[in-house]
Amino acid sequence: MTAAYRERVKGTLATILAHPDDETFGTGGTLIRYATEGIAVHSLCLTEGEKGWAGGEGAPVVPREHVGTARALELAEAGRRMGLASVTCLKYPDGGVVGVNEGYVVRDIVRWLRRVRPDVVITWGPDGGYGHPDHIATGLRALRAVELAGIARHEPELGDHVHVKRCYRFVAGAEFVDRLTDLEPGFAEYMKTLEVKPQRWTRDRLGAAIDVTPVEKKKREAMEAHRTQTPDLKMWNRVREKAGEVMQEELYIRAFPEPGGPPLETDLFAALRK
Ligand SMILES: [Zn+2]
């Protein structure tokens, strides 16, 4: 990235997530909002999501061995629709991030952070939204990498150190989880199989709530780029139809500064604009 490019953008936002649809289905509205404002938004995905849906329910079925490649391409298209500056997929095993040597994963993230040089980072929350082990592992490794990326003497061969100014963790609100489990018994059953249960992220515990209603249409268009994940897309559409009110905001807690919940922010870049 050239110095001229860095001068032109108004700031840089980076997501560090686990599967090629996490950034779109989860934080997509937030990313579209900031990309539209002229902030450079970069997405890092630790896996290609090769264990996910291989199409079906109206979408073409992709041979299992090609699902990862297909999903990386879908992420590229979703990123284009959201106006992202770059999308990167690593090839850590879907469903097995926790089993990979932590040092390797952290090192890859540090290298990437020092290249894209974000002001603000978003990663998964402590319960991974609904308890997904890859999400939880990704959040922990991302936090470690953000810290190490800022230490000049830590592996200087990975690039110039970078001080991330603010870091947020994406969470699923308690009301959303309640409505989802009511409306989608299949998903509720799946959640029961996971070791970690979603924490009750009520409003008083949140660090930021981003209103995504102005960009809802664009978010849906980006979600539709994930064609192999059509069964999930249909689930989100059913929930949106019956409980759209719990999908109007994307919710975060702060990792730093001021870890945890209040004060509740409505703009992840507000403190950096002053
Ligand atoms: Zn995921």
CA of 135 to the centre of ligand 1 (A): 6
Pairing of strands 166-171, 249-256: antiparallel
What spatial distance separates the first Cα and last Cα of the chain, rounded to whole Å? 25
Q: How many other CB atoms are found less than 10 A from the CB of residue 148?
A: 18
d(CA 15, CA 164): 12
Residue 7 reports pLDDT greater than 70: no
Cα 5 to averaged position of ligand 1 atoms, centre (Å)? 31
Centre of ligand 1 to C-alpha 198, Å, is 14
Domains of the chain: 10-260 (3.40.50.10320)
Cβ atoms within 10 Å, residue 64: 10
**d(CA 134, ligand 1 centre) in Å:** 7
Q: Where does the chain show beta strands of DSSP type E?
A: 12-17, 40-47, 86-92, 120-124, 166-171, 208-211, 249-256
State the distance from the centre of ligand 1 to the C-alpha of 274, rounded, in angstroms: 34
pLDDT tens digits for 255-271? 999 998 899 999 999 99
Q: How far is the CA of 239 from the centre of ligand 1 (A)?
A: 18
151 C-alpha to ligand 1 centroid (Å): 29
**How high does pLDDT run on average in the chain?**
95
The whole model's pTM is what? 0.96
Structure tokens at 13: 């936002």
| 116 C-alpha to ligand 1 centroid (Å) | 22
Structure confidence by residue, pLDDT tens digits, 35-90: 999 999 999 999 999 999 999 999 999 999 999 999 999 999 999 999 999 999 99
154 φ, ψ (degrees, to nearest 5): -80, 115
